[in-house]
Amino acid sequence: MKLPFFWIDAFTAQPFRGNPAGVCPLTEWLPDEILQRMAFEHGLSETAFLVPKGPGRYHLRWFTPAVEVNLCGHATLASAHVILRELKAATGSVVFDTKSGPLGVAERGQRLEMDFPERVAQPHGPLEHVTAAVGAAPRELRVAGNHHLFVYERESDVARLRPDFAALRGMKDLRVIATAPGEDCDFVSRYFASSVGIDEDPVTGSAHCTLVPYWCERLGRKNVHARQISARGGELWCEWASPRVKIAGQAVCYLKGEISV
């Protein structure tokens, strides 16, 4: 069986930056075991699989090399780029039906803007075992489900983090978002999800469902400009429209071809 495949760098206007995602349009679902094996074979933080449901509407699922996840930002952005700009199968906008509900993506000039649910983090007491694995104590700790928001004083504090990924790998379904005020943007972040097979994600759209409400409330604004300061780096423009978060960025196609399954 031959399947189309796209490698898209998301949250960047340049190849080799942002977060790479695999996008595989299907006509019908393959067995979950095959989807998971394909995601493992690709070795990307996420591979998106989509099946059409009607004009401008698709069923979308995301797989890391290890597990299926309930929400993924960069692979949603990548999927919208494929539908709207590579395949030209819809015009202006597209809606994806997912495990996190319907997610709309609309063209905004050169950017694509995603409409995601907010995930507001609540203040939490110290978690010594997580802090030890991350490598430095935050000034503030908040939690939203399995996402732990570590807030630091300075961008350099986040940049210097050297987590113990082996320790994080042993903490079931734990994800850590490290953040601080930015030097040339409103805030910066890094994202660690070793427990689901991703030691450090280059740019994490879904983390901004938690980051944007926190920073908008702290800064007293509804619109913020963010950077993820991983080795690849990425840039996001966001709006808090509670209970939703608008997350916008650019994307470029690095590779397109065919998979043999």
Asked if residue 58 lies in contact with residue 98, where contact means CB atoms within 8 angstroms, the answer is: no
Question: Do residues 83 and 175 share a domain?
Answer: no
Q: Do residues 136 and 228 share a domain?
A: yes
How would residue 260 be classed by pLDDT, with cut points 50, 70 and 90?
very high
* CA distance to 60, 127, 210, 255, per residue, from 25 (Å): 9, 41, 29, 14
Asked whether residue 59 falls in the same domain as residue 82, the answer is yes
Amino acid 261: pLDDT:
92
CA distance 50 to 96: 8
Tens of pLDDT along 103-123? 999 999 999 999 999 999 999
126 lies in the same domain as 113: no
Mean pLDDT (whole number) for 231-241: 97
The parent domain of residue 191 ranges over: 122-242
| Statement to judge: residues 111 and 131 lie in one domain | no
- CATH number of residue 99's parent domain: 3.10.310.10
User: What is the C-alpha radius of gyration for the chain, rounded to an integer number of angstroms?
Assistant: 18
Q: Please tell me the distance from the alpha carbon of residue 33 to that of residue 232, in angstroms, as a whole number.
A: 30
In this structure, what DSSP letter does residue 197 have?
A: T
- Model pLDDT, residue 173: 85
pLDDT band of 61, cuts 50, 70, 90 = very high
Q: Are 113 and 75 in contact (CB under 8 A)?
A: no
Cα separation, 222 vs 214, whole angstroms: 11
Same domain, 112 and 12: yes
Query: Of 233, 223, 163, which is closest to residue 198 (Cα–Cα)?
Result: 163
Please give the pLDDT value at position 211. Answer: 98
Helical ranges in 26-97 per DSSP H: 32-42, 73-81
* pLDDT at res. 172: 86
Catalytic residues, by residue number, are 46
Residues 110 and 189 in one domain: no
pLDDT at position 96 is 98
Q: How confident is the model at residue 196 (pLDDT cuts 50, 70, 90)?
A: confident
pLDDT score at 239? 98
Kindly list the distances between the CA atom of residue 62 and the CA atoms of 97, 120, 151, 206, in Å, as whole numbers in the listed order. 12, 22, 28, 12
Neighbours of 12 (CB within 10 A): 23
Select from 79, 64, 107, 67 the least CA-distant residue to 23.
79
117 vs 131: CA distance, rounded Å:
27
Q: Is residue 111 located within the same domain as residue 185?
A: no
Q: What mean pLDDT value characterizes the chain?
A: 97
Residues 100 and 129 in one domain: no
Sign of CA dihedral 81, 68, 199, 182: positive
Q: Are 92 and 46 members of one domain?
A: yes
Cis-peptide into 52, omega within 30 deg: no
Same domain, 185 and 81: no
pLDDT above 90: residue 197: no
- Number of domains composing the chain: 2
Three-class secondary structure assignment of 13-35:
CCCCCCEEEEEEECCCCCCHHHH
| Position 95 confidence tier, pLDDT thresholds 50, 70, 90 | very high
Q: How far apart are alpha carbons 13 and 9 in whole angstroms? A: 8
**Does residue 17 contact residue 72 with C-beta atoms inside 8 Å?**
no
Structure tokens at 139: 């000034």
Give the residue-averaged pLDDT of 147-159. Answer: 98
pLDDT tens by residue, 154-173? 999 999 999 999 999 999 88
Q: Do residue 194 and residue 236 come from a single domain?
A: yes
